[in-house]
Amino acid sequence: MAGSRLSVLLLISGCLQVCDLQPDLLVRRFRYVGLQKTWSEAQTYCRETFKDLATIQNLNNNTEAQQAGGRSQFWIGLFNGTWRWSQEEERDSNPSTWFKNWNTGEPGSGSCVSINKAGMWFAKDCSALNAFVCFSAETGQHVLVDQQKSWLDAQAHCRSQHTDLSSIRSLVENAQVSAVLPAQTQMNIGSLFGNLLGGSFSTSTSTSPTSAWIGLHRSLWAWSDGSGAAFRQFGLVQSNGRDDCVLMDSSSSTWFWRPCTEYHPFLCNTDVRPMMMRTVKVRMSSASADLGDPVVQNLVLEQLKKRIEDEEGREVRLNWRMQPDGQVFRREEDTAPPPVCQQEDACGTV
């Protein structure tokens, strides 16, 4: 008893600020960037620096975006027309690097893509009727379906009978898919001559498909990060013409189509790991080392960090909290009140 009373006099205490990184928790935030950029330059900047251009999916997001943007007009991630494969893959995330094999002058205004025997691609009206090529994951083969269907019906057919409409992500795949189309012979000319000559050429009046739908299509409203575009907040005044990118006006918190080549500031998305801060009081019973020495303080901090991380099984960031007298530690004596470790400033985010 007498011994423990003595050790109380040797106790030293300080305030330790503990910031817990929440490894499984990511919170989406907006970041306003005041640089003047075209929409696609802004997209590149956001993807390199943060995550992507901002996606606004509800009224709350819209208010947050408005506040983040201050008093200005800025690009958000919505744009008109993104190409997508019906069977999407991880590696599709950057469309600018995709393999493409457009015929000269394509893609035009059509939003669904067909391939011909020569392997060239054409953007057509999605309601046009066409044969199509399905991919079967089971066999690893592309299968020509010689039935006339709209792109959507063709997709439904492939998904129910095989795996999906065929995707083409390389020259090799392009050759594999175009190979399933029948070779175009002189058949039509042959039958034409046959008729003209009144002869009995046995050429069939074959309607073998000259082109077939593949899985590529364009969705008209899309966010840069690939989110669906159900929520919209367009203002009444819209310009006409081909304005394919969306600007948010924060004074009215509405959106406008603008030409993508205009220069504006922009809003990015980013994911942050929030940190939870707590302050704990640390009491130690040895005064042999000089705890006023920052080197010693850091050594103690490292040991504590290791111990807390072992105990809690997650990463933490530690700091000593300075007392009003400029010291970290205080001798706990009966005369002096122990330091009060209050919750204070937030840790912020990483």
What residue ranges bind ligand NAG (CB under 6 A)? 28-30, 57-58, 60-61, 64, 80-81, 109, 220, 242-244, 257
Is the CB of 54 or the CB of 154 nearer to ligand NAG? 54
> How many CB atoms are located within 10 Å of the residue 166 CB?
29
**CA dist., res. 166 & res. 213, Å (int):** 8
Cα dihedral value 71, 72, 77, 78, nearest 10: 100
What CA–CA distances, in Å, run from 83 to 27, 219, 315?
28, 7, 41
**CA dist., res. 51 & res. 43, Å (int):** 9
Is the CB of 8 or the CB of 59 nearer to ligand NAG? 59
Q: How far is the CB of 54 from ligand NAG (least distance, A)?
A: 7
Q: How far is the CB of 315 from ligand NAG (least distance, A)?
A: 23
Q: How far is the CB of 124 from ligand NAG (least distance, A)?
A: 13
Is the CB of 242 or the CB of 281 nearer to ligand NAG? 242
**CA dist., res. 158 & res. 165, Å (int):** 6
Q: How far is the CB of 61 from ligand NAG (least distance, A)?
A: 4
Q: How far is the CB of 65 from ligand NAG (least distance, A)?
A: 7
Q: Which residues contact 322 (CB under 8 A, 6 or more apart)?
A: 328
Coil vs helix vs strand at 143: strand
Is the CB of 107 or the CB of 215 nearer to ligand NAG? 107
Q: How far is the CB of 100 from ligand NAG (least distance, A)?
A: 17
Length of the chain: 350
CB distance 124 to 110 below 8 Å: yes
Is the CB of 171 or the CB of 220 nearer to ligand NAG? 220
Is the CB of 61 or the CB of 233 nearer to ligand NAG? 61
